[in-house]
Amino acid sequence: MTNDYKAKPKIRRFEDLICWQKARVLANTIHGLTLHPNFSKDFKLRDQILDAAGSVMHNIAEGSDSGTDPEFIRFLKMARRSSSEVQSELYLALDRKYITETELKQAYDQADEAKRLINGLIAYLRKSGQNPANKISEEQGNYSVYPEDLFTSGEFDTDEHHPDAPQTTND
């Protein structure tokens, strides 16, 4: 019997996850939009969309520290739902003329990209099923790394900014 499972490389920082990086960009884009004069005065919508945008990145970070794949997936699903909430609230901002259609499209597309990456990470975690309890083993370190398309991009290259960041290899 052969074991087709290839161990996940190590990762120690949620900041290495591209879905978190894209969620951070989304949160900052939303923050910028809420600075528009009329938007900034609509406290309820402003606070709601800021909270939802922050929840995308925060749930990814919190879930990465959960210790099991099923628990991480649970947090990723919350992050994905928060991203959809941001998209819905963007329509309210457009309807109230706080933002332009171009601004809506840019932020909406960022939320879509975050959701796509979150979905990819969920699929990867489900497929990996590395052990019955889906617990991260001692050999894997504190966190698991995901395929290259799910972590570390040039814009947020943690190796450059964080000397302790793990190095991965494609063997």
Domain presence at residue 87: yes
Q: What is the pLDDT, as a whole number, of residue 3?
A: 47
Domain presence at residue 38: yes
Predicted model pTM: 0.73
pLDDT in tens, the chain (171 residues): 444 445 555 456 899 999 999 999 999 999 999 999 999 999 999 999 999 999 999 999 999 998 889 999 999 999 999 999 999 999 999 999 999 999 999 999 999 999 999 999 999 999 886 544 444 333 333 333 444 555 554 443 333 333 333 333 343
Domain presence at residue 169: no
CATH code of 79's domain: 1.20.1440.60
Domain presence at residue 4: no
Q: What is the pLDDT, as a whole number, of residue 120?
A: 94
Total structural domains in the chain? 1
Exposure b/e, 20-56, CB count within 10 A at least 16 = b: bbbbbbbbebbeebbebeebeebeebbebbbebbbbb
- Tokens describing residue 100: 């332009």
Instruction: Find out whether 159 and 16 touch, Cβ atoms under 8 Å.
Output: no
Q: Which of 15, 87, 102, 14 is nearest to 52 (CA)?
A: 87
E strand or H helix at 139: none
Domain presence at residue 161: no
